[in-house]
Structure 1
Amino acid sequence: MNLILGIVIVMGCVLGGYAAHGGQLMALWQPYEVLIIGGAAAGAFVIANPFSVTKRALGGIGQIMKGSPYKKTHYQALFAVMYDLLSVARKEGMMGLERVIEDPTKSEIFAKRPLILKDKHVIEFIQDYLRLIISGDMDQHQLEALMDVEIETHHHDAGEPAGALSKVSDALPGFGIVAAVLGIVNTMGALGGPPEEIGKKVAAALVGTFLGILIAYGFVGPMSTAMERMARDETQFYNTIKICILGFLQGHPPQVAIEFGRKATPGELRPSFKDLEAQLRGKKA
């Protein structure tokens, strides 16, 4: 939604201001300039990145339309799942926990929270570290270090599409200049012709520079920033899971371990203490 709103604002203000100054909007319609700039940017993107990054970048643009999936309801579902899992570990021991996480699709704990169940990577993250706890072969500090390494690696992978788009944004003004230079070359070939024709060709060349700068700073750059933010949101979600698990490993009861995770949640997504307490008390009843 923000993507569409932002595009409307950018285009409305830029084109509206131009038209209000007496500019002719059709003079900005230069499809060959768009082809040169867009084609050069797309080609450079393909050269610089493997197909996997290209695919994720395109998917990330679609995700911007929907917004970050990690909202307050997602965190509330996570805390409910973690509380139930840690409660099983406390009451039934590690064997009971192992039975629950062996197949999450058959577990009532996960089935009641589809927001978590449908996130394959989150499920795997929870499973992997609870299995390591069950095995008993790693102490708390080793487990925390391993979690940090995995979260950092995941963040790097999630941030690759944003970094790739950012580099394209940096290059777009240069491609605009390329289009403008080609337009000037085309204009030089028309010298001696009607002034109207020369004027149109000069205008087309200048539009190339305009489009390169506008697309870079009005669209591609902001989309890169939005994708980077979504990658940070995902990393923070994994960090919250880590804090809950570590709180439990330190010997705290499940409700306290969940409170540790709540404190690690971004402010705008963090459920209040009363809301979380009411939710967990409801599960106890």
Structure 2
Amino acid sequence: MGISTILGIVGGFACIIIGILLNGRITDFLDPASIFITLGGTICALIVSYPIPQLLDTLKSLKFAFKGQKEDPARKIQLIIDLANTARKEGLLALENMLEDIPDPFLRKGIMLIVDGSNSELVKSVMETELYYIQERHNRCISVLNAGAGYAPAFGMAGTLIGLIAMLVSLEDASKLGPSMSVALVTTFYGVLIANFFFSPLSRNLKTLSAQEQMIDEMMLEGILSIQDGENPRMIRDKLEAFVSGREIAVLDARIEQAKQTASAERQE
């Protein structure tokens, strides 16, 4: 999703700029006062609405929209199957030796609870609580962007009112009517642009990424509980494949086949 985010923003602004150039000059749409009113007002409103740490967390979360989705469901399923095979052959305590090979902190925490001898109800409760607060943190960042999408057009309208008032005050001076009207209209333009090319798209982007992460975490939780219950690795795989697409299942099949070929070659040597 990272490259599509960049292409969408760049392409959108390119379309706007081309449209402006086809009908006039780009300088006609550059007004420092309008930018100051719209962008400055939106930022200040967000500072009033949310604590600074939450705003900083939101800024940090934007990198995920531009970096793209790094999750690999097929790889996680393969790892869970490997863990299930180890637990079935050597017992749950043998999983402790594999903890360092688990990169995902959510999955690693679940396996640690199993190794520590926690019962299935406790494991499920702890991991569901972890999952809930992960989503809460995501939702707080999304709410900041949603608020920004609402504030930007509002301050654009405020700038329009300022421009109209200045225009009415200057009716006797025809030379001031043009600049005042420019501020009035361009400020609304900036508000709509900031809301619909920045805040709203990035909010939906993070919401989509959050939903994908939640699905993968739920899949891993299902795998953790299945390992603890001693289920057959083949049955665990069938259960986890319900969470992913056909393309990701094909990737998983290819990796399993490659692992079998590697193991067969090692035995022959």
Which category describes the TM-score, using the shorter chain as reference length? 0.7 to 0.9
Q: Displacement of 1:41 after TM fit?
A: 1.0
Distance change (3 Å), C-alpha of 1:89 and 1:261 = same
- Which of the residues 79, 96, 100 maps onto 1:81? 79
Partner of 2:267: none
Q: Displacement of 1:149 after TM fit?
A: 3.0
Partner of 2:28: 27
Question: Pairwise CA RMSD of aligned residues?
Answer: 2.4
Distance change (3 Å), C-alpha of 1:219 and 1:127 = closer
Distance change (3 Å), C-alpha of 1:160 and 1:267 = farther
8 Å contact 1:243–1:264 — kept in the other structure? no
Instruction: Work out the CA distance in 2 between the residues paired with 1:273 and 1:127.
Output: 21
Q: Displacement of 1:174 after TM fit?
A: 0.6
8 Å contact 1:262–1:270 — kept in the other structure? yes
Q: Displacement of 1:276 after TM fit?
A: 4.7
Partner of 1:113: none
Instruction: Work out the CA distance in 2 between the residues paired with 1:53 and 1:275.
Output: 42
Instruction: Work out the CA distance in 1 between the residues paired with 2:19 and 2:37.
Output: 26
Partner of 2:39: 38
Q: Displacement of 1:78 after TM fit?
A: 1.8
8 Å contact 1:186–1:201 — kept in the other structure? yes
Distance change (3 Å), C-alpha of 1:229 and 1:99 = same
Residue identity over aligned pairs, in percent, reads 22
Letter in 2 for 1:253: N
TM-score w.r.t. structure 2 length?
0.86
Q: Given the alignment of the two structures, is residue 229 of structure 1 paired with residue 208 of structure 2, yes or no?
A: yes
Partner of 1:93: 91
Partner of 2:227: 248
Q: Displacement of 1:283 after TM fit?
A: 6.5
8 Å contact 1:247–1:260 — kept in the other structure? no
| Residues 114-145 of structure 1: CA deviation (Å, up to 9, x unaligned) | xx63xxxx32x223322332343413x55334
- TM alignment of 1:235-274, pairs within 5 A: 235-266=214-245, 269-272=248-251, 274=253
Q: Displacement of 1:268 after TM fit?
A: 5.5
Letter in 1 for 2:18: G
Q: Given the alignment of the two structures, is residue 164 of structure 1 paired with residue 162 of structure 2, yes or no?
A: no
Q: Displacement of 1:47 after TM fit?
A: 2.0
- Which of the residues 9, 23, 44 maps onto 2:11? 9
8 Å contact 1:80–1:280 — kept in the other structure? no
Q: Given the alignment of the two structures, is residue 69 of structure 1 paired with residue 70 of structure 2, yes or no?
A: yes
Aligned length: 262
Instruction: Work out the CA distance in 2 between the residues paired with 1:253 and 1:30.
Output: 67
- Which of the residues 155, 172, 176 maps onto 2:135? 155
- Which of the residues 194, 202, 207 maps onto 1:215? 194
**What are structure 1's unaligned runs of at least 5 residues?**
105-109, 111-115
Task: Determine helix, strand or coil for the equivalent of 2:91.
Answer: helix
Range with greater deviation from structure 2 (81-90 or 236-245): 81-90
Range with greater deviation from structure 2 (172-181 or 150-159): 150-159
Partner of 1:107: none
Task: Determine helix, strand or coil for the equivalent of 2:219.
Answer: helix
Q: Displacement of 1:208 after TM fit?
A: 0.5
Task: Determine helix, strand or coil for the equivalent of 2:191.
Answer: helix
**What are structure 2's unaligned runs of at least 5 residues?**
265-269
Letter in 2 for 1:176: G
TM-score w.r.t. structure 1 length?
0.81
8 Å contact 1:34–1:211 — kept in the other structure? yes
8 Å contact 2:87–2:227 — kept in the other structure? no
